[in-house]
Structure 1
Amino acid sequence: MSKKIEIRLNSESVLADCAYNIIVDNLDPHKIYEIKQELKNYYCINVPTNLGTNNIWESKISVQADESGRISLKDSCAIDGSYKGIAQMGLFYNSQPKNTKKIKLPQNLKSIAKNDKFQIVISIVEHGKVIAANSFLRYYQLPTIASKDIDLGEACGRVFFEKRQSQKPAIIVVSGSDGRIEKAQNIAQLFASHGFVALAVGYFGLTGLSRNLEKIPIEIIEPSASYLALLPQVDEKRIGLYGRSKGAELALTAATYFQNIKCVVANSPSNIVLEGMCGWKPSHSSSWTYQGKELPFKKFHIVQYLLTKIAKRPPSNNPKNAEIRIEKYNGALLCLGAQEDEIWDSAGSIEKISARIKLRKQSDKTFTAKIYKNCGHILTVANQPNIRYKKHYAWEGSLQDSIDSWEQTINFFQQNL
């Protein structure tokens, strides 16, 4: 090698949801090298929040340089390592944390880090020695995006916006049974970086909020929408709602009560109101309330759950009064789910939602549904590592499902808000 080794990261965007290609030039032709990737200060939405960002995620592969001394992961075949074959995002998607030590999480919103960016370090290794390295930043929240913490009464929020924006569509983001705000924030930051105003809402698990996911008033969506409507950056007639898992259940339920929501995306939804949770135990009460009264709900039965998941028996009939009457919602709706959802039957729920949507009167709004076959309940941001499904699905399929579902989400909001 006579020239200095050059490591580049080619990408259409610096955003974390955008694919990138690692290119290494000025290597010895036909020689095999190890490419090592480390992610520092990396927040991964697909793992428990208390894993923390101090953990380094890493992956590595062995690759042979071509006749010109170049390695390009878009074209070069991994011989061994974290994956084999040709995969542009293989190193990133197959990254794993060095350890799984849990951290103590802050309970006050203002103490929760924004986790707005992370560092990618690419090293070229020969005979166990690093001979070249370079680092790059990837963003969930672009540097031009501002944020503000807000009190929503029985909920709290962190809003993300471009200061110079005016009359832009806005999205309320509610996440699932993890509670807190970190996962909703991760998604809201990316929405804001794609041109929306986005409000991440925490509705339990933080100081001043309900301790558990039980008897949460669905009215928390009202002050969230009202707050956004008053911002100069927001077009008050274009406010949408994104929810995943229990957040999708909340989003669908709230949409039937509050008609100022123009567009909803429900990721891994339930078509019924389910029992609340105290930690990981049933709460013996509804997840949600309206005007101080518990909404009818389906109780959790461990025996029925195990028979459904292990013995593959069809789920028991749902109480009719617990079904979400989505036909009362007249806005645009996108539902995304997995054919083999390990938490609940999101595919079956979407089928039932589709049937009820047909009961809508005088609505020309869009309804779209998509079911994925290479993933489970955790269907989040494009390209992000998902350790959970490595033993159950070919990782290439899970990666593609994450890309497609995220693109469906962004495109749906762009077209319907």
Structure 2
Amino acid sequence: MKTHFPTPAAPDETASYAQDGLTAEFYRGRQDAVSDQAVIILGGSDGNFKTTQQFAAAFADHGLNTLALPYYGQPHLPKDLAQIPVETVETAAGWLHRRGFTRIGIWGISMGAQLALLAASLIPAIGRVAAVSPLDVCVQGLQVSPRKRLLDCSAFTWRGQDLPYCPLRMNRRRVWRDSLKSLGLNMRSCYRSVATAAEEARIKIENINGAILLLTAGYDLMWPAHPSAQRMMRRLQRKHFAHPYSEQSYLHAGHFLFPDLPHIKKPFAATPLVYAKEHARSSRDAFEATVRFFREWAD
């Protein structure tokens, strides 16, 4: 695959909350896109919808119909990473279905990867999911502004109820010390509880109605995505999951496992300085693997 990243084109269609019940931007695939297939695109915890749009445009340039979907930080959406309705994705899937897309996939990175897996486990209309740097749990809600702090609620809700979540622990002094040592923002200490989280907080990925691709990094300083992916692989094996599933892990790559596009400002220091070249190669490979994963669905 020849990977190229031109300046993103304008969206082909815009969904508005007033008319459609959601805010989203649709990008039609530029190279032999499959007419009945589309992929919902979810960005990370920075909440920058422009970045999500650029993710969607990059995939569209490589032949995927995509829908960039914000899930917080926009009008009519939660202002914090707390009590985010998974139904936002359900509404997006319905919007695509009404436009003739009968095969609907989902891709998410970081916090968006959590939401992608949760949504796919709850919404049968989603038939394929790719998750970049995911966790295997639903996490505790987080106030984003004016000051970051943990809230006594879940990050996500379903049918008006908090989904069971894994409590986190935020020690700013520990984060600062770890970040200095690792030469990059290091939040892993906040997520130590993920390994021993209660079963009720685990994402029920065995309920997903299609193939699963997990992409993780060995030098992920944000949270333990690779151990989470390994647990998910074991879980799917135990549950005799009926669809294809795999994990691709890149030893010398960081949390933000996406090609370094000149028009995307990374939301955090997620590229390991000591492995910059390896991270760049791994990110490109992960992108190409994702395009293949969704394109193969057409075969």
TM-score (norm 1): 0.60
Counterpart of 1:379 (choices 238, 257, 282) is 257
How many Å apart are 1:165 and its aligned residue?
6.9
How many Å apart are 1:146 and its aligned residue?
2.1
Alpha-carbon distance in structure 1 between the residues aligned to 2:249 and 2:261: 18
Q: Tell me if 1:187 matches 2:55.
A: yes
Alpha-carbon distance in structure 1 between the residues aligned to 2:165 and 2:29: 40
Structure 2, unmatched stretches of 5+, are 182-187
Q: Tell me if 1:284 matches 2:152.
A: yes
Structure 1 residue aligned with 2:14: 148
Q: Secondary structure at the match of 2:68?
A: strand
Amino acid at match of 2:238: L
Q: Tell me if 1:271 matches 2:136.
A: yes
Query: Residues 18-417 of structure 1: matches in 2 within 5 Å?
Result: 138-141=6-9, 146-151=12-17, 153=21, 155-161=22-28, 167-232=35-100, 234=101, 236=102, 238-279=103-144, 280-303=148-171, 306=174, 310=178, 315-316=192-193, 317-361=196-240, 363=242, 365-381=243-259, 388=269, 392-417=273-298
Q: Secondary structure at the match of 1:302?
A: coil
Alpha-carbon distance in structure 2 between the residues aligned to 1:390 and 1:288: 27
Flag the 1:391–1:375 CA change in 2: closer, same or farther, 3 A.
closer
How many Å apart are 1:283 and its aligned residue?
2.1
Identical columns (%) = 26
Larger radius of gyration: 1
Give CA deviations for 1:264-294 in whole Å, capped at 9, x if unaligned: 0000001000011111321221011111110
Alpha-carbon distance in structure 1 between the residues aligned to 2:269 and 2:154: 29
Q: Secondary structure at the match of 2:28?
A: strand
Higher RCO structure, 1 or 2 (CA under 8 Å, sep 6+)? 2
Alpha-carbon distance in structure 1 between the residues aligned to 2:173 and 2:197: 13
Flag the 1:289–1:399 CA change in 2: closer, same or farther, 3 A.
same
Amino acid at match of 1:179: G
Q: Secondary structure at the match of 1:315?
A: helix
Give CA deviations for 1:33-85 in whole Å, capped at 9, x if unaligned: xxxxxxxxxxxxxxxxxxxxxxxxxxxxxxxxxxxxxxxxxxxxxxxxxxxxx
How many Å apart are 1:263 and its aligned residue?
0.7
Q: Is the 8 A contact 1:214 1:277 kept in 2?
A: yes
Alpha-carbon distance in structure 1 between the residues aligned to 2:122 and 2:250: 29
Amino acid at match of 1:367: Y
Q: Secondary structure at the match of 1:210?
A: coil
Give CA deviations for 1:91-132 in whole Å, capped at 9, x if unaligned: xxxxxxxxxxxxxxxxxxxxxxxxxxxxxxxxxxxxxxxxxx
Q: How many residues align?
A: 277
Structure 2 residue aligned with 1:79: none
Q: Secondary structure at the match of 2:47?
A: coil
Flag the 1:303–1:213 CA change in 2: closer, same or farther, 3 A.
closer
Alpha-carbon distance in structure 2 between the residues aligned to 1:383 and 1:303: 32
Alpha-carbon distance in structure 2 between the residues aligned to 1:306 and 1:224: 39
| Bigger helix fraction | 2
How many Å apart are 1:211 and its aligned residue?
1.0
Flag the 1:390–1:338 CA change in 2: closer, same or farther, 3 A.
closer
Give CA deviations for 1:282-327 in whole Å, capped at 9, x if unaligned: 12210111111101111111249949x9499893411221111111
Give CA deviations for 1:308-347 in whole Å, capped at 9, x if unaligned: x949989341122111111121310000111121111001
Alpha-carbon distance in structure 1 between the residues aligned to 2:237 and 2:34: 36
Give CA deviations for 1:359-382 in whole Å, capped at 9, x if unaligned: 33461x211101112221111136
TM-score (norm 2): 0.82
Q: Secondary structure at the match of 1:405?
A: helix
Give CA deviations for 1:239-267 in whole Å, capped at 9, x if unaligned: 10001111110111111111111110000
